[in-house]
């Protein structure tokens, strides 16, 4: 399966080293459109990334580093997500899950309305083109079990490890 990251004129990408390993970051005219781990599933269309251009990603790199270090709870980056309406609704709900909290696929399905299958929500979560920025790692199974993550369960576990980052920025100093 392949998901298109965009591919519009003006798309560029870089590869950043992070605490969770390398991530490929895609921008279109300065707007963040993709953030992918190696072996990301579903596989993004790498031809849509545009040429590699290591300049112009400094703000993404800084904020991603701060977030992964626990020094930032919210990203302040211009983003554009491409997907069908259902997927975008799911991604919007995920974006509302507070830092340090989790939700379930079932909770998201119920928020979307009657008749929505949690498995359909799971599929939309899996198509998230902006892992970490749209915090799909905060979505877990109904029993509390960690389920699929584009970057692998070890990365998801690292993001959710109790006490690692949770709540530090939410309490005024």
Residue the block writes with tokens 């300065």: 30
With a CB cutoff of 8 Å and minimum separation 6, the contacts of 20 are: 37, 68, 132, 151, 155, 158, 159
Is 136 catalytic? The answer is: yes
Which one from 3, 134, 136, 140 is the annotated catalytic residue?
136
Q: What are the beta bridge partners of residue 27?
A: 12, 32
Distances (CA, A) of 87 to 70, 137, 140, 151, 166: 28, 16, 17, 19, 27
Q: Which residues are catalytic?
A: 136
């Amino acid at each position: 399966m392949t998901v298109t990251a965009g591919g519009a004129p003006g798309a560029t990408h870089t590869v950043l080293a992070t605490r969770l390993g390398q991530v490929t970051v895609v921008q279109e005219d300065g707007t963040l459109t993709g953030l992918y781990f190696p072996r990301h599933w579903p596989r993004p269309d790498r031809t849509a990334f545009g040429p590699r251009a290591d300049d112009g990603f400094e703000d993404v790199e800084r904020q991603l580093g701060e977030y992964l270090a626990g020094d930032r709870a919210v990203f302040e980056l211009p983003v554009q997500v491409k997907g069908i309406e259902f997927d975008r609704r799911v991604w919007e709900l995920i974006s509302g899950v507070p830092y340090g909290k989790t939700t379930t696929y079932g909770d998201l399905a119920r928020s979307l309305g009657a008749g929505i299958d949690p498995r359909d929500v799971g599929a939309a979560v899996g198509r998230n083109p902006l892992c970490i920025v749209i915090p799909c790692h905060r979505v877990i199974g109904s029993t509390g079990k960690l389920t699929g993550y584009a970057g692998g369960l070890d990365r998801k576990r690292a993001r959710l490890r109790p006490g690692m980052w949770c709540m530090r920025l939410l309490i005024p100093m």
